Structure 1
């Protein structure tokens, strides 16, 4: 008998019925395909990831709205997963500071086994329901926070332990799984099902399930940051200018959004302390750096609202 448990912490006797564990009839001769046939098969099967995202659009939108509300009130976003799901969780969280200039504690990824599990297998640790609950307690999660559990097969005890503990603490919870509700029930505020069908390599959820999960996390984190005013139009105006590539991107943004040449855009960027959002506010409204920082703080970092405030007062 497997040690795997469901979200009620009870053993699951059989996992073969799960959609993520079933055999894909389109790839039964996988080992006999040539390379071009392999590529074509992957391309065809991966179309299901787009359909899965489309079918979950309402739940994803609700997750964005509720997360943005929570973070605007001082909360944090946590992703929790094991194995591939945990690695995707950590990856998406790690991308937020350089992309949106967020503090590292705002969006955090929790993986069973900790940092070491990012580079070596630790899938045996996913069976510890109590470790998931402990991870929530260790981070002092409260009713201000959002916890999103990620488990392709829907059964990972570590993830269910974390989500259950988060619910008990009053946090907003969501759970992403790639199996239908009739196969595995989920106790969370938002139930996100990414139904991509059986994998080309049976049970290897790093494939379609992993791709759909990455897409969902991209949508959630980017959508939340848009709602929080980290974006102006479709520009990353809160980008952290930390290397040559990002410095060039910052200058191009300033040139595109203003009438400045590259040299003047560089001067403006330096006057703003290398903050694109602040530089734009200074240029468009004529305020100095200190006044601009106060304006942005007053409007919770929303550049559009800060600009409108100055324009309304003129």
Structure 2
């Protein structure tokens, strides 16, 4: 079995990647920036190592002897004041990691990008041949994911890129679980008018490990899931939890206006609001993703949304995250 270097192990997808890699018998060195994440990484079968994404020399020392790098760390903020830090992590950090991997003579680089590299500017169903428009986006997160992915594609290393859609599943503490908790507390002010593609975090992790095992280098894979409007999604959550929910969607113009007011107030409080203009734009988008290539080449599975949601809610209950 191989030594593998993993970033983002303390996060949602990264934790599942660590489980999959350890279960396959690989020795995983997981980037850990602080002592409080060390125990969680060790519990999943990884070895925590210290390094900064801003320092290629530290990263090189941490990954010496590793055969592969799985890069899942990312700044997912949708708040404009965090733009500089986000670019430093998602673009600068990726570049430093690539430099370190080249110097350490790593033989494979697996990069978790996002459908956001294509951008909400894309209309219609996304496939791997759809031109990416993230570089044109006014949303820093989309631009940063596009630029980070381009750095990987331009690298001399053997690489594989993954573009997941809306990730859901057990272990979610900060993504869609935030919306679920608002429904549970009956504090959801409205429902965005967009459409999502809900992907199972467990299947995303399995697909990444399979892609490496099958040496699918130079390839990119869209990893989507069952499509549902956010109205449908929220209603399913409300039914499962026995909570009332708004009936219909908030018009996009009203959601954006509300987000701009909160954004202005956040500049005074210096706290990220629940809804930002960037978030309003993304959740008003009608996302459509074709996972056909991943299904054919990686045996990728799209878990039915009802099953995926039930698993997510069951995990949240065990964690005391729901009333």
Establish whether TM, by shorter chain, passes 0.5: no
**Which one has a larger percent helix, Structure 1 or Structure 2?**
1
TM-score normalised by structure 2 residue count: 0.25
> Whose RCO is larger (CA < 8 A, sep 6+)?
1
TM-score normalised by structure 1 residue count: 0.26
Computing the radius of gyration from Cα coordinates, the structure with the larger value is: 1
